[in-house]
Amino acid sequence: MTTSSHTLGDIEEYFDKLQILNQSVWDSVCNKPQIKKWLEQFKGSIVSAEEEQKYMIFALSKFMYFSQRMVREMLISLYRDFIRAPLIQVIRKNNENTTDMELLSKLYLEDLHTTRFIGVGNPAESGAHLLYIFRQVNNLERKLFCDLHGAFDVEADPNGGTPNWIPRDGNIKRYIFFDDFVGGGTQASRYLEKPITSIRNSNPDIEILFISLFSTSHGLSKLNEESLFNGNASCLFELDDTFKSCSLGSRYFDKPPSWFSIDTFRSIAEHYGNFLYEQPLGHGNCELLLGFSHNTPNNTLPIFWKNGSVNEPLINWYPIFERFDKNYGLWRTK
């Protein structure tokens, strides 16, 4: 058997594995014709085309894709483990460790009514979109949710300093900010650092927390800085450096086949990624293999999600897990 035919045979084996993964976990979003179309774009710039395609289908078999069904289950866990359970523990402690479930339920609902959930960023972005589903799956009242400007009035500083953020409802004692994914934490920092500083300075007793489904360790550390959430940012799944797919120690390839080389995989990802995105290993060089039913983070390798090219207009790249980029309008370029 020639090397080429042996490689093609290996690729077919991965197709069989992906078919099972696609049907049982991915809710049939990634079928064989789509995979073939994506693979055919790897034409042999680093190693032979057959080898590049084998590397890519092997990486695809390691991709962490979360379907809508799975995201809903994670949102239930996020509320149960990071909101409801901790609040009930505090309530029990403040009530002589009572086990009276009727009393605990009553006191919890009273406490919950002094809480507001706020999506990070624009209401049209993914965090706010998932917050809507978060409300549904956890059967929460609509009045518990608002955006930043719905929760606070902004008063200009007469001396030209930082504006003051004043709570609209003086009975609210807890604000919980929500996002689906945190990469480097810079976006949340730009959006929230000044408001949080103002809120904390004028209302030191108010609790300000942050929760998300996924966060890199670096992003979570950024959000937990004193100027932001001061240790009160948490996530359901933390992605440490072992989730970097192109680096030594990657958990995606902890027991690779004998033919696999992390250096070759990195070279392929960088070469094709260079045509697609200004950061070929993903935003912040996160190197992730991660996607959701509602979108794919730009921290994932762009060879998986980019539609089209930024450097070569004639290249029309076909993504396997397409990302829908944010359209900020022309005003952002001025």
Give burial (CB, 10 Å; 0-12/13-18/19+) of 290: buried
Domain identity same for 250 and 234:
no
β-pair partners for 153:
166
Task: Identify the domain boundary among 206, 239, 272.
Answer: 239
| pLDDT at 330 (0 to 100) | 42
| Boundary residue ending a domain (210, 239, 268) | 239
> Given a cut of 80, is residue 39 above it in pLDDT?
yes
In a domain, 306, yes or no: yes
User: Is 209 in the same domain as 234?
Assistant: yes
Identity at 74, one-letter amino acid code: M
pLDDT tier at 129, thresholds 50, 70, 90:
confident
In a domain, 261, yes or no: yes
Q: Is there a domain that residue 35 lies in?
A: no
Using alpha carbons, select from 231, 247, 312, 301 the residue that is nearest to residue 273: 301
Pull the structure tokens for residue 17.
Answer: 């594995």
C-alpha R_g of the chain: 23
Which pTM was predicted?
0.89
Whether residue 273 is found in the same domain as residue 291: yes
pLDDT higher than threshold 60 for residue 313: no
pLDDT of residue 69: 93
Q: Do both 322 and 203 map to the same domain?
A: no
State the residue range of the domain holding 315.
241-326
Residue 331 has pLDDT above 60, yes or no: no
Please name the residues in contact with 239: beta carbons below 8 A apart, sequence gap of 6 or more.
Answer: 214, 215, 216, 217, 286, 288, 290
Classify residue 132: in a domain, yes or no: yes
Q: Could you tell me if 149 and 280 lie in one domain? A: no
Q: Identify the pLDDT of residue 1.
A: 37
Question: Is residue 175 located within the same domain as residue 304?
Answer: no
Residues 145 and 213 in one domain: yes
Mean pLDDT of 222-237: 96
Question: Which two structure tokens, joined as six digits, stand for 14?
Answer: 């991965």
Tell whether 277 and 223 lie within a shared domain: no
DSSP 86-137: HHHHHHHHTTTT---HHHHHHHHHHHHTTEEEEESS-TTSHHHHHHHHHHHH
- Does residue 125 surpass a pLDDT of 80? no
Out of 11-15, 36-40, 52-56, 192-196, least confident range: 11-15
Is the same domain home to 214 and 150?
Answer: yes
Given a contact cutoff of 8 angstroms between Cβ atoms, the answer to whether 104 and 45 are in contact is no
Mean pLDDT (whole number) for 164-185: 94
Which residue type, as a one-letter code, is found at position 156? A
Q: Which residues contact 127 (CB under 8 A, 6 or more apart)?
A: 119, 120, 121, 178, 179, 180
Q: Is residue 313 exposed (0-12), middle (13-18) or buried (19+ Cβ within 10 Å)?
A: exposed
Task: Mean pLDDT check: name the lowest of 9-13, 122-126, 212-216, 299-303.
Answer: 122-126
Asked, for residue 145, whether it belongs to a domain, the answer is: yes
Least confident of 113-122, 249-258, 310-319: 310-319
Alpha-carbon gap, residue 245 to 251, rounded angstroms: 8
If asked whether residues 214 and 280 sit together in one domain, one would say no
Give domain status of residue 84, yes or no. Answer: yes
> Is 255 in the same domain as 190?
no
Q: Read off the CATH number of the domain in which 173 is found.
A: 3.40.50
Confirm whether 47 is domain-assigned.
Answer: no
* Residue 294 DSSP SS3: coil
Number of domains in the chain: 2
Give me 306's structure tokens.
């980019």
Indicate if 147 and 176 belong to the same structural domain: yes
Q: Which of 117, 176, 175 is nearest to 146 (CA)?
A: 117
At 332 the pLDDT is 40
Each residue's pLDDT tens digit, 41-96 = 999 999 999 999 999 999 999 999 999 999 999 999 999 999 999 999 999 999 99
Please check whether residue 1 lies inside any domain of the structure. Answer: no
User: Is the pLDDT reported for residue 320 higher than 60?
Assistant: yes
Instruction: Return the pLDDT at 5.
Output: 46
Cα distance between residue 149 and residue 22, in whole Å: 41
Q: Which of 239, 257, 288 is the last residue of a domain?
A: 239
DSSP letter at 142 equals: G
* Mean pLDDT of the chain, nearest integer: 90
